[in-house]
């Protein structure tokens, strides 16, 4: 049968496919769900479940590390079997179930809920962005603008979560905050399902018939995938309790993935590919260094805000978890400005190369921690640090993030052949996983039982980052040469 080409005009809103706004609000509520739980997690572990700081930060780090590793698997399952639409719906429902499991208010329900959220995030986060890309034809000049709008939804969701969910959780009880996050996720799934007609068939399974045909005991591959996803939850339940195992697994996986990239370049005797692979590995290590310190936001910085910051704002005491909202707020305020700045600098041929941007971003992260040291010195030993110093720290961390984050996968996937794109995506996500695991180790050094003083650790971290970032800037030209023209 000949293919029928639709002659219907594309339905648009503000010049973009109308389906973009379905995905915008779906992702916004998913981020509301994830960041709502994340904002409260460390305080819930230390205040409700009465865990020590080292144990709590270890669990937090294991959880966030697995959250970033899960999309590597979820994306491949959607590509080869489920399709993006089914994966997003399944992921959203699992995440909502995980939030509601936390209402059990015990370690059993904690690990079960986190396991469900990890699996759900792996399906949702990996695939909704893929549908955005499919709304535009190759070469469509609206694509970059469309992703900018979509990512604005991410930051709005994060801002709502770190204000509303965080405030509700700390004011009325953690279970109310988790419950609100779960409700937000259900709203996101409902918007996505209701808006299917606006997605004009994007994100369907690669082979619908193969997905739903019976293969064992009357069960289809679709049913078996759901069962396998649920079966992964007890495995994650175990790993979260023995989080040291996660560190070993992530390091081994990272070495194997990058080793395969090096082996591929050596096997083809391609000098340019080998150089670009080394550049990719260096950028991953820089990525780990930055995010391991940036991700203190959910652990040591929130505990420091709770214990060491004067959070008075006029007649209101800002809840410690709400201080995390500064990052999302500054991203929304400065994100578009930075995008315009890079375009302007590129036009006048003054745009820093990628390694230089990484180095400058790391320096800004270090300066952020040193701002807290200055704030502590300004009030004297034992006194609470004024809130404005914490806000200024988040401002510097956000500008540092804007030097690194927009590059993302669009840059690293250019460094190797398209046939290795999946492997590179895996390596990049694993670098975020390792960063979160390292972040938990650093957080364990601050405060708590037998740990060092927060300010002492922040001081050390700040100077190490500034010096390290400076060295990266000095070596940026040499690293850039390894990339052989990739921008």
Contacts of 222 (CB under 8 A, 6+ apart): 82, 86, 211, 212
Pairing between β-strand 309-310 and β-strand 385-386 as defined by DSSP bridges: parallel
Please report, rounded to a whole number, the percentage of residues in the chain having pLDDT higher than 70: 95
Do 99 and 37 touch, CB atoms closer than 8 A? yes
Phi-psi group of 450: left, alpha or beta (phi > 0 → left; psi -120 to 50 → alpha; rest → beta): left
Instruction: Give the model's confidence band at 317: pLDDT under 50 very low, under 70 low, under 90 confident, else very high.
Output: very high
* Alpha carbons 199 and 194: distance in angstroms, whole number: 10
Q: Which residues contact 256 (CB under 8 A, 6 or more apart)?
A: none
- Which pLDDT score, from 0 to 100, does residue 342 have? 85
| pLDDT higher than threshold 60 for residue 7 | no
Confidence of residue 411 (pLDDT cuts 50, 70, 90): confident
Pairing relationship of beta strands 316-317 and 219-220 according to DSSP bridges: unpaired
Closest CA to 120 of 63, 71, 62, 175: 71
Tell me how crowded residue 178 is: count the other CB atoms within 10 A of its CB: 27
- pLDDT number for residue 1: 41
What was the pLDDT predicted at 373? 96
Q: Find out whether 150 and 27 touch, Cβ atoms under 8 Å.
A: yes
- pLDDT, residue 447, reads 66
Tokens of 442: 């650093």
Provide the terminal-to-terminal Cα distance of the chain, rounded to the nearest Å: 44
In angstroms, rounded to a whole number, what is the distance separating the alpha carbons of residues 435 and 432? Answer: 5
Confidence of residue 4 (pLDDT cuts 50, 70, 90): very low
User: Over 90: is that where the pLDDT of 415 sits?
Assistant: no
Residue 395 has pLDDT above 90, yes or no: yes
Cβ pair 187, 92 in contact under 8 A: no
Q: The dihedral of CA 183, 120, 433, 338: what is its sign? A: negative
Residue 3 confidence (pLDDT): 41
Between CA 84 and CA 206 the distance in angstroms is 9
* Helix/strand/coil (H/E/C) assignment for every residue in the chain: CCCCCCCCCCCEECCEECHHHHHHHHHHHHHHHHHHHHHHHHHHHHHHCCCCHHHHHHHHHHHHHHHHHHHHHHHHHHHHHHCHHHHHHHHHHHHHHHHHHHHHCCHHHHHHHHHHHHHHHHHHHHHHHHHHHHCCCCCCCCHHHHHHHHHHHHHHHHHHHHHHHHHHHHHHCHHHHHHHHHHHHHHHHHHHHHCHHHHCCCCCCCCHHHHHCEEECCEEHHHHHHHHHHHHHHHHHHHHHCHHHHHHHHHHHHHHHHHHHHHHHHHCCCHHHHHHHHHHHHHHHHHHHHHHHHHHHHCHHHHHHHHHEECEECCEECCHHHHHHHHHHHHHHHHHHHHHHHHHHHHCCCCCCHHHHHHHHHHHHHHHHHHHHHHHHHHCCCCCEEHHHHHHHHHHHHHHHHHHCCCHHHHHHHHCCHHHHHHHHHHHHHHHHHHHHHHHHHHCCECCCCCECHHHHHHHHHHHHHHHHHHHHHHHHHHHHHCCCCC
> Residue 410 — pLDDT band, cuts 50, 70, 90?
low
| Confidence label for 448 from pLDDT (cuts 50, 70 and 90) | low
- When the pLDDT of each residue in the chain is averaged and rounded to a whole number, the result is 90
CA dihedral over 336, 340, 346, 352, signed as positive or negative? negative
- Report the alpha-carbon distance of residue 262 to residue 273 in Å, rounded: 9
Across the range 398-420, mean pLDDT stands at: 78
The phi-psi region of residue 382 (left if phi > 0; otherwise alpha if psi is between -120 and 50; otherwise beta) is left
pLDDT confidence of residue 413: 67
- The CA distances from residue 354 to 287, 407, 466, 481, 486, in Å, are 12, 8, 18, 11, 9
Task: Characterize the bridge pairing of strands 219-220 and 214-216.
Answer: antiparallel
Q: Domains of the chain (ranges plus CATH)?
A: 14-241 (1.20.1250.20), 243-487 (1.20.1250.20)
Q: Biggest alpha carbon distance in the chain?
A: 80
Among the listed ranges 302-306, 400-404, 445-449, which one has the minimum average pLDDT value?
445-449
Instruction: Note the pLDDT of residue 197.
Output: 86
Which pLDDT band, with edges at 50, 70 and 90, does 418 fall under? low
CB-CB contact of 427 with 261 (8 Å): yes
Torsion sign across C-alpha atoms 470, 463, 429, 39 = negative
Q: Mean pLDDT lowest for which of 10-24, 47-61, 404-418?
A: 404-418
pLDDT confidence band for 150 (50 / 70 / 90) = confident
pLDDT category of residue 409 using cuts at 50, 70 and 90: low
Paired tokens of 94: 């699992």
% residues pLDDT > 90 (the chain): 67
pTM above 0.85, yes or no: yes
């Amino acid at each position: 049968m000949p293919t029928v080409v639709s002659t219907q005009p594309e339905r648009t809103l503000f010049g973009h496919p109308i389906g973009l706004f379905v995905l915008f609000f779906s992702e916004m509520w998913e981020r509301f769900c994830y960041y709502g739980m994340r904002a409260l997690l460390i305080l819930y572990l230390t205040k409700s479940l009465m865990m020590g700081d080292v144990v709590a930060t270890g669990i937090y780090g294991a959880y966030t590390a697995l959250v970033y590793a899960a999309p590597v698997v979820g994306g491949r399952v959607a590509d080869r079997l489920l399709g993006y639409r089914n994966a997003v719906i399944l992921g959203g429902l699992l995440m909502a179930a995980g939030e509601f499991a936390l209402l059990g208010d015990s370690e059993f329900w904690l690990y079960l809920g986190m396991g469900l959220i990890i699996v759900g995030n792996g399906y949702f986060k990996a695939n909704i962005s893929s549908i955005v890309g499919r709304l535009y034809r190759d070469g469509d000049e609206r694509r970059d603008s469309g992703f900018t709008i979509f990512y604005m939804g991410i930051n709005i969701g994060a801002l709502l979560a770190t204000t509303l969910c965080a405030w509700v959780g700390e004011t009325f009880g953690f279970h109310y905050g988790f419950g609100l996050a779960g409700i937000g996720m259900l709203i996101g799934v409902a918007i996505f399902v209701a808006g299917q007609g606006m997605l004009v068939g994007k994100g369907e399974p690669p082979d619908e018939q193969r997905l739903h045909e019976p293969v064992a005991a009357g069960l289809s591959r679709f049913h078996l995938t759901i069962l396998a996803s649920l079966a992964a939850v007890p495995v994650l339940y175990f790993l979260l309790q023995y989080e040291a195992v996660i560190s070993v697994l992530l390091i081994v996986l990272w070495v194997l993935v990058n080793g395969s990239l090096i082996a591929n370049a050596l096997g083809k005797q391609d000098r340019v590919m080998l150089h670009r692979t080394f550049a990719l590995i260096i950028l991953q290590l820089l990525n780990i260094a930055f995010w391991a310190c940036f991700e203190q936001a959910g652990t040591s910085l929130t505990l420091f805000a709770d214990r060491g910051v004067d959070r008075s704002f006029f007649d209101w005491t800002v809840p410690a978890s709400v201080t995390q909202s500064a990052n999302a707020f500054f991203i929304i305020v400065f994100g578009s400005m930075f995008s315009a700045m890079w375009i302007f600098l590129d036009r006048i041929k003054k745009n820093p190369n990628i390694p230089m941007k990484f180095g400058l971003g790391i320096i800004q992260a270090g300066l952020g921690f040193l701002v807290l040291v200055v704030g502590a010195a300004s009030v004297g030993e034992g006194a609470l640090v004024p809130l404005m110093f914490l806000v200024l720290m988040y401002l510097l961390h956000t500008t540092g993030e804007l030097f690194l984050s927009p590059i993302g996968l669009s840059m690293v996937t250019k460094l190797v052949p398209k046939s290795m794109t999946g492997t590179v995506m895996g390596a990049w996500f694993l670098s975020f996983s390792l960063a979160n695991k390292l972040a938990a180790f650093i957080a364990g050094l601050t405060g708590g039982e037998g740990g060092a003083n927060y300010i002492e650790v922040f001081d050390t971290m700040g100077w190490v980052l500034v010096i390290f970032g400076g060295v990266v800037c000095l070596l940026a030209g040499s690293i850039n040469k390894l990339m052989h023209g990739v921008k």
